[in-house]
Amino acid sequence: MKFGVVIFPGSNCDQDSFFCIKDVIKEQVDYIWHQDTDVKGYDCIILPGGFSYGDYLRTGAVARFSPVMQSIIDYAKDGGHLIGICNGFQILCEAHLLPGVLTANDKLKFICKYVNLKVENDTSDWTNLYKKGDVLNIPVAHHSGNFFAETDVIKELEDNNQILFKYCDAFGNVTEEANINGSVNNIAGIINKAGNVAGMMPHPERAVEDLLCSTDGINVFKSLVERMN
């Protein structure tokens, strides 16, 4: 499989993602510059975390109009696999490739810590190596991770099994206390209706070896490799 990691001005998890694919997942990976418009030949594109364009205007709002995104929107509409992590998730929402929006955390704090995530969907291209109900320990690092969408959109996400992960406590209970940032229904990660586009605020690429205190994120990438093979 060939992965591509997009670099926007202000991306800062591009190297983590590259390392994860090359050295842990052991698949091919290239960087894609934000000015590039040719995204042919990739089996999966990763929009990494960071602060693209300084988070000016709104998180992800400026990156969404960069040259590479116009090609990536076409790529995703043709069924190409695409995952946005943290700032990448914010960009995907701004680009309308995923529903909803990520607004400032309800306590207006930057949150940087390991959190517990409950696996809600174990059949998607991104989560088929997990089991529904698994509790994962994966870090977050964001100021705007508060997922919001109108009630009918949330219902559609729930009904179509489009929610991948929810913030939970150590025992897998999805509680208000475990909701670190105020997201509707504790939502931490979703997919589009077709299932080829995923977005999540936690950083699976930072939980891929023992040195990083957790390996719980590996299966996000391995699930896709498994599915594609």
Partner 1 sequence: MYRVKVYVTLKPSLLDAQGKVVKGAAVNLGYDEVENVRIGKFIELSINENTKDVNTAVEELCSKLLANTVIENYKYEIEKE
Binding site for partner 1 (CB under 8 A): 57-58, 61, 65, 93-94, 100-101, 103-104, 106-108, 148-150
Name the residue among 132, 130, 111 with its Cα closest to residue 178: 111
Name the residue among 228, 5, 10, 11 with its Cα closest to residue 125: 228
Catalytic-labelled residue, pool 13, 20, 44, 86: 86
Shortest distance, CB of residue 211 to partner 1, whole angstroms? Answer: 36
Amino acid at 218: I
Name the residue among 128, 91, 135 with its Cα closest to residue 114: 135
Amino acid at 127: T
Shortest distance, CB of residue 180 to partner 1, whole angstroms? Answer: 14
203 is catalytic: yes
Q: In the complex with partner 1, which residue's Cβ is closer, 46 or 149?
A: 149
Catalytic-labelled residue, pool 27, 94, 120, 205: 205
Instruction: Report helix, strand or coil for 17.
Output: helix
Structure tokens at 115: 């959190």
Measured distance CA(22)–CA(15) in Å, rounded: 10
Q: What's the distance, CA 174 to chain centroid?
A: 19
**Residue showing tokens 């009630």:** 151
Q: In the complex with partner 1, which residue's Cβ is closer, 23 or 150?
A: 150
Shortest distance, CB of residue 199 to partner 1, whole angstroms? Answer: 14
Shortest distance, CB of residue 103 to partner 1, whole angstroms? Answer: 6
Structure tokens at 75: 């790529």
Catalytic positions, written as ranges? 86, 203, 205
